[in-house]
């Protein structure tokens, strides 16, 4: 060793003694008289120093930068802006004993950003395999582009650990982000392959109530995702976040009820009483939502919204139940807690007032504002009340009916068909009830059903209408139904299969190709099948049957019938009416105590309800729920509801051709494929 290096290396002002540490003993005897020695020693010291013991919220306050691409308030993340998220994020830290954390929440409370902070913390401070699950693969891709990429790009601590996507072999793709010590995989709840792709120490389940009932028919997506954490035992973390949906079917409600049910208690600025905010205590003058204020549960004095910032800062989470699993904790929060500048109490009051009179809007308000589930009213209307409401139609199809659909229910000894007319606002009229004797093993029965496709019904204005679409159930004698439907083609017939469960977004899905049997042989892709969430349409039917109608005086003044009103003819007998209300929605609990809702029969025969559901599904398939004004006007013109000059018709209709209720599919445009002459 040279003489020049035998003395301690000068370190004054070099930064090697950060935080007052003395490294003279460690560097004694080392030859450090070369360029770059200082950088090497600094890196070595940094590597030897243990990482700071940060929680997720502390990490976010120190390292998280919000991008203008993904946030309305770009810049340094501040937990103080949403102090109620601090304990939720800290429960995701490795030092916290909780393993299952559920968050049932309203919209616009910052829950997704809390999950993104957790992702950043894992990449930077607690690396390991992590799985993030969104409702669909497409949503996972959008989240990657819109949230995860800005999270990494805007936070220097993460950017240095995840290579740019454009780098070769960077391990950074749209659905996969590699980093030292771990990997983040994003997938959709509709992909069983993605859910079983790897073991995971961390699982982030976002918007679990929007997950499908089954991932590629391989089971519950939440269960499949959680199975990935088995080998990590007590070190695992599962974070479930969602706005709730329907009571008894909501996954996030089930998890919250199985937890210790924590609620955020805030102090009254007047009396100091701690309480969690409830919508029932939000008060405003009649017709003046701008006066909205909160009535304290302790002193009953009104609390103005400008006190909210201080109330949130002094708030605390308190458990309101005892969890059977001590490692499972749950949080609930409504939009009443949204910080100043997000959703105000005045906005909440306005949205609640606007939702009155519409079950759909009330459901959305309850889910997104209160963060609570919607209770479907599954009580069957009394059939006697429906009998009192029967009407004498002026013609087979009353004035408001603009197109026809039918539902066919195949039984052992017969096929029952109900024909319904549909109009604006999805008002409907029962037009015909047909029973075809013989059953599926009788060729004559199928011949009569085929003839029904060519039948027409008379409109009050004189037009004649054929069936626009007939939906037939495939649950009984499936192969025979497939064979008949395949022979009729797809223009007028839809094969349907009922599935239990609610799906308001897409109550009818498909079609999918299924194998059919014809002449004793299997036909690949022989039939097209639509799946129907029957619970959704049953609940809708009962809701429409309970609608209050305007009085005769109001109708004389021009008050219209409510959208969705169901009109029943005077020839509908008591047996048919009893079949229409033959089921009710009940809540049942499984062995683990989880509640779910299902429709159960109150009497043996329910064909009228089934055929109504299938006819409604046929209307959905035709696009009635998405018709624009132009389509409704076209149907009214066909039916003669509007006075239209005959000269406007470019070509006169043939006298015997059906004149109304025809729904033309939009022309599909695509590339025209031409064949070179030499290949002819």
Peptide bond between residue 668 and the one before it cis (omega within 30 degrees of 0): no
pLDDT band at 503 (very low <50, low <70, confident <90, very high): low
Between 89 and 357, the more confident residue is 89
Of the candidates 210, 138, 218, the residue with the CA atom closest to the CA atom of residue 175 = 138
Between 569 and 439, the more confident residue is 569
Point out the least confidently predicted range of 226-235, 465-474, 671-680. Answer: 671-680
Give yes or no for a contact between 350 and 335, defined as CB atoms under 8 angstroms apart: no
Point out the least confidently predicted range of 281-290, 353-362, 671-680. Answer: 671-680
Find all residues with CB under 8 Å of 378, minimum gap 6, and list them: 539, 542, 584, 585, 586, 597, 599
Six-digit token string for 84: 């109620």
CA atoms of 188 and 665, how far apart (whole Å): 32
CA-based Rg of the chain, rounded to a whole angstrom?
Answer: 32
- What pLDDT is stored for residue 381 in this prediction? 77
- What pLDDT is stored for residue 668 in this prediction? 41
- Report the chain's mean pLDDT, rounded to a whole number: 83
- What pLDDT is stored for residue 1 in this prediction? 40
- What pLDDT is stored for residue 644 in this prediction? 34
Q: What share of the chain is helix, strand, coil (3-state, %, to 5)?
A: 35, 25, 40
- In sign, the C-alpha dihedral spanning 536, 538, 541, 546 is negative
Other C-beta atoms within 10 Å of 305: how many? 15
What is the mean pLDDT of the segment spanning 44-48?
69
| pTM across the whole model | 0.62
**Over the stretch 592-614, which tens digit does the pLDDT of each residue have?**
556 667 787 878 888 999 999 99
CA atoms of 44 and 420, how far apart (whole Å): 79
Is 247 buried (19+), middle (13-18) or exposed (0-12) by CB count in 10 A? middle
Residue 359 has pLDDT above 80, yes or no: no
Q: Which of 11-25, 51-65, 97-111 is predicted most confidently?
A: 97-111
Six-digit token string for 603: 């009497």
Residue 371 phi, psi (nearest 5) = 65, 35
Residue tagged 């401070």 (tokens): 125
- What pLDDT is stored for residue 36 in this prediction? 76
- What pLDDT is stored for residue 674 in this prediction? 33
In this prediction, what percent of the chain has a pLDDT beyond 70?
Answer: 83
What is the mean pLDDT of the segment spanning 357-376?
84
Of the candidates 55, 58, 97, 101, the residue with the CA atom closest to the CA atom of residue 77 = 58
- Partnered with residue 493 across adjacent β-strands are 470
Distance set, CA 125 to CA 59, 144, 165, 512 (Å):
9, 21, 22, 46
Q: Is 408 helix (H, G, I), strand (E, B) or coil?
A: strand
Residue tagged 């129907």 (tokens): 532
CA 157 to chain centre: 34
What is the mean pLDDT of the segment spanning 514-528?
63
What is the mean pLDDT of the segment spanning 490-497?
89
CA atoms of 363 and 563, how far apart (whole Å): 17
Q: What is the dihedral angle through the alpha carbons of 474, 479, 483, 485, rounded to the nearest 10 degrees?
A: 10
Residue 550 has pLDDT above 90, yes or no: no
**Over the stretch 620-657, which tens digit does the pLDDT of each residue have?**
999 988 888 999 988 988 887 753 333 333 344 444 55
Residue 317 has pLDDT above 90, yes or no: yes
- What pLDDT is stored for residue 280 in this prediction? 92
Residue 33 has pLDDT above 80, yes or no: no
Point out the least confidently predicted range of 22-26, 136-140, 146-150, 405-409. Answer: 22-26
Residue 505 has pLDDT above 90, yes or no: no
CA atoms of 221 and 243, how far apart (whole Å): 17
- What pLDDT is stored for residue 169 in this prediction? 55
- What pLDDT is stored for residue 664 in this prediction? 64
Point out the least confidently predicted range of 80-89, 539-548, 671-680. Answer: 671-680
**Over the stretch 241-285, which tens digit does the pLDDT of each residue have?**
999 987 777 889 989 988 999 999 999 999 999 999 999 999 999
Six-digit token string for 489: 């083609």
Secondary structure of 464-523 in HEC code, one letter for each residue: EEEEEEEEEECCCCHHHHHHHHHHHCCCCEEEEEEECCCCCCCCEEEEEEEEEEECCEEE
CA atoms of 256 and 249, how far apart (whole Å): 13
């Amino acid at each position: 060793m040279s003489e020049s290096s035998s003395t301690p290396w000068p370190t004054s002002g070099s930064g090697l003694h950060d935080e007052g540490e003395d490294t003279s003993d460690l560097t004694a005897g080392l030859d450090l008289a070369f360029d770059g020695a200082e950088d090497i020693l600094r890196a070595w010291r940094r590597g030897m120093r243990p990482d700071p013991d940060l929680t997720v919220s502390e990490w976010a306050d120190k390292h998280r930068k919000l991008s203008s691409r993904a946030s309305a308030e770009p810049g340094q993340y501040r937990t103080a802006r949403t102090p109620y998220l601090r304990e939720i994020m800290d429960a995701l830290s490795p030092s916290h004993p909780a393993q299952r954390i559920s968050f049932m929440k309203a919209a616009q409370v910052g829950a997704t950003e809390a999950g993104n902070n957790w992702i950043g913390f894992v990449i930077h401070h607690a690396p390991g395999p992590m799985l993030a699950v969104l409702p669909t693969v497409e949503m996972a891709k959008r989240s990657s582009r819109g949230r995860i990429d800005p999270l990494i790009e805007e936070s220097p601590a993460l950017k240095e650990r995840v290579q740019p996507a454009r780098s070769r072999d960077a391990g950074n793709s749209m659905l996969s982000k590699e980093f030292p010590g771990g990997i983040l995989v994003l997938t959709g709840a509709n992909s069983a392959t993605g859910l079983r792709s790897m073991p995971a120490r961390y699982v982030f389940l976002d918007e679990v109530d929007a997950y499908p009932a089954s991932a590629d028919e391989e089971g519950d997506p939440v269960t499949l995702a959680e199975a990935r954490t088995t080998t990590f035992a007590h070190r695992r973390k599962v974070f479930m976040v969602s706005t709730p949906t329907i009571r008894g079917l909501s996954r996030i409600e089930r998890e919250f009820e199985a937890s210790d049910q924590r609620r955020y208690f805030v102090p009254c600025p007047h009396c100091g009483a701690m309480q969690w905010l409830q919508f029932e205590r939000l008060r405003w003058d009649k017709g003046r939502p701008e006066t909205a204020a909160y009535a304290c549960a302790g002193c009953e004095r009104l609390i103005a919204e400008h006190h909210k910032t201080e109330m949130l800062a002094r708030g605390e989470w308190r458990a309101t139940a005892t969890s059977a699993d001590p490692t499972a904790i749950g949080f609930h929060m409504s939009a009443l807690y949204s910080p100043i500048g997000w959703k105000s109490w005045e906005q909440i009051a306005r949205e609640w007032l606007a939702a009155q009179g519409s079950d759909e809007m009330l459901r959305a308000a309850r889910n997104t504002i209160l963060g609570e589930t919607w209770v479907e009213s599954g009580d069957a209307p009394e059939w006697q009340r429906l009998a009192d409401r029967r009407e004498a139609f002026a013609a087979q199809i009353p004035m408001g009916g603009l197109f026809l659909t039918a539902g066919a229910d195949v039984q052992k000894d017969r096929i029952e068909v109900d024909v319904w007319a549909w109009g604006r606002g999805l008002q409907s009229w029962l037009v015909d009830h047909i029973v075809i004797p013989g059953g599926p093993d009788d060729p004559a029965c199928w011949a009569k059903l085929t003839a029904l496709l060519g039948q027409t019904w008379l409109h009050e204005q004189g037009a004649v209408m054929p069936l626009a679409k007939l939906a037939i159930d495939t649950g009984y004698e499936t192969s025979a139904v497939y064979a008949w439907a395949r022979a009729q083609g797809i223009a007028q017939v839809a094969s349907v299969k009922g599935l239990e469960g609610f799906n308001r977004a897409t109550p009818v899905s498909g079609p999918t190709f299924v194998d059919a049997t014809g002449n004793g042989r299997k036909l690949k892709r022989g039939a097209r099948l639509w799946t129907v969430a029957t619970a959704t349409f049953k609940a809708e039917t009962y809701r429409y049957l309970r609608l209050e109608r305007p009085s005769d005086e109001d109708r004389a003044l021009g008050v219209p019938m409510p959208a969705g009103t169901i009109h029943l003819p005077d020839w509908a007998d008591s047996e048919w009416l009893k079949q229409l209300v033959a089921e009710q929605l009940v809540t049942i609990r499984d062995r683990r105590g989880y509640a779910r809702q299902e429709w159960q029969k109150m009497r043996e025969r329910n064909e009228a309800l089934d055929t109504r559901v299938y006819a409604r599904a046929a209307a959905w398939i035709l696009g009635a729920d998405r018709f624009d004004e132009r389509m409704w006007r076209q149907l009214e013109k066909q039916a003669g509801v509007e006075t239209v000059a005959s000269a406007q018709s470019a070509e006169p209709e043939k006298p015997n051709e059906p004149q109304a209720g025809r729904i033309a599919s939009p022309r599909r445009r695509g590339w025209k494929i031409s064949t070179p002459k030499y290949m002819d």
